[in-house]
């Protein structure tokens, strides 16, 4: 079964810390992987998209990496701020998945001032 796992479910860090959020997937036959941010009661905001042929993508303080052989992606957040507090979701588009994204359950991040 094609699954996406995000551990831990919650994380609390002090402001200014560099942090890594992990995402694991069970099948290396992926089309792409996307990281989202969700604030309480809101929709999902796309942060970074990594195609299967890419190793990483960067946007501002965010860097996402992809290692298909190990079934892992990481989202690196540099110099975390209280405004980064949100739930971060990883979603994989598996090849042959009839266009359906497979989501992890998300990591709820709290950045303490």
Say if residues 12 and 55 touch (Cβ distance below 8 Å): no
Task: Between 76 and 103, name the residue whose CB sits nearer to other proteins.
Answer: 103
- Please list every residue from 50 through 109 that binds other proteins, using CB under 8 A: 51, 89, 91, 93, 98-101, 103-106
Distance separating alpha carbons of residues 8 and 6, to the nearest angstrom: 6
Residue 32 in the binding site for other proteins (CB under 8 A):
yes
Task: Between 43 and 83, name the residue whose CB sits nearer to other proteins.
Answer: 43
Say if residues 59 and 76 touch (Cβ distance below 8 Å): no
Is 107 exposed, middle or buried, given 0-12, 13-18 or 19+ CB atoms closer than 10 A? buried
List of residues contacting other proteins (CB under 8 A):
31-32, 34, 36, 41-46, 49, 51, 89, 91, 93, 98-101, 103-106
């Amino acid at each position: 079964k094609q699954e996406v796992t995000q551990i831990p479910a919650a994380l609390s860090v002090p402001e200014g810390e560099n942090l890594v959020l992990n995402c694991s997937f069970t099948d290396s036959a992926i089309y792409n992987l996307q990281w989202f941010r969700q604030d309480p009661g809101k929709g999902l905001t796309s942060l970074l998209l990594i195609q299967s042929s890419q190793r990483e993508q960067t946007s501002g303080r965010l860097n996402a990496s992809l290692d298909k052989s190990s079934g892992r992606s990481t989202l690196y957040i540099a110099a975390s701020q209280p405004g980064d507090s949100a739930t971060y979701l990883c979603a994989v588009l598996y090849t042959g998945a009839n266009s359906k994204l497979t989501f992890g359950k998300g990591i709820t991040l709290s950045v303490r001032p």
